[in-house]
Amino acid sequence: MTQDVPSLYEWAGGMPALERLTSRFYERVASDAVLGAVFAEMDRHHPRFVAQFLAEVLGGPKAYSAERGGHPHMVSRHLGRHLTPAQRAHWVRLLLDTADEVGLPDDPEFRSAFVAYLEWGSRLAVMNSQPGADVDPEAPMPRWGWGEVGGPYVKK
């Protein structure tokens, strides 16, 4: 018997859950001592764009790629920002605290997959924010799942 396994996107609660997460997260960021200045001039639509990006990465609709340009566009948003490891770690902690606050699933399987993506993606953001970083226009959109071997770029 074959069971349909929901995507991380579906398990999280779909777009409404991710929009709650990013809206509340960026409300918190605005007054955060570590991250406030980093996001001081963000577009008012930034929370929605991040929700779309997360949705696509977690197996949901491909709206971010269709409307914003996929992973190359996300990388371009980090170029020249000089993000620090301390800012990265704080960003992850604050996002996870917000996930708890807005009621994202807290079962170990979902959270381990979600944390794995946040760790991977945030470390990539720091790397791409340093001098000399460049955008690969062919970079595929990461796809994150329930811990399958091979990471986000495994062709399915």
Is 138 part of a structural domain of the chain? no
Into how many domains does the chain fold? 1
Question: What ranges in 5-148 are assigned the alpha helix state H?
Answer: 8-12, 14-30, 46-57, 63-68, 70-76, 85-102, 108-128
* Whole-number pLDDT of residue 20: 98
Is 1 part of a structural domain of the chain? no
Residue type, 11: W
- Residue from 97, 86, 147, 73 nearest 122 by CA: 86
The answer to whether 74 touches 53, Cβ cutoff 8 Å, is yes
Is 88 part of a structural domain of the chain? yes
Residue 1 has pLDDT above 80, yes or no: no
* Whole-number pLDDT of residue 42: 87
The answer to whether 69 touches 88, Cβ cutoff 8 Å, is no
Domain that holds residue 66: 8-128
Is 148 part of a structural domain of the chain? no
Q: Which residue is it, tokens 């329930």? A: 146
Is 110 part of a structural domain of the chain? yes
Mean pLDDT for the chain overall: 91
The DSSP 8-state label assigned to residue 142 in this structure reads: P
Confidence category of residue 4, pLDDT binned at 50, 70, 90:
confident
Distance CA 118, CA 124 (A): 10
pLDDT digits (tens, 9 = 90+) for 75-128: 888 988 999 999 999 999 999 999 999 999 999 999 999 999 999 999 999 999
Distance CA 76, CA 71 (A): 9
Confidence category of residue 3, pLDDT binned at 50, 70, 90:
low
**Which CATH number characterizes residue 33's domain?**
1.10.490.10
Confidence category of residue 23, pLDDT binned at 50, 70, 90:
very high
Q: What percent of the chain has pLDDT over 90?
A: 78
Residue type, 4: D
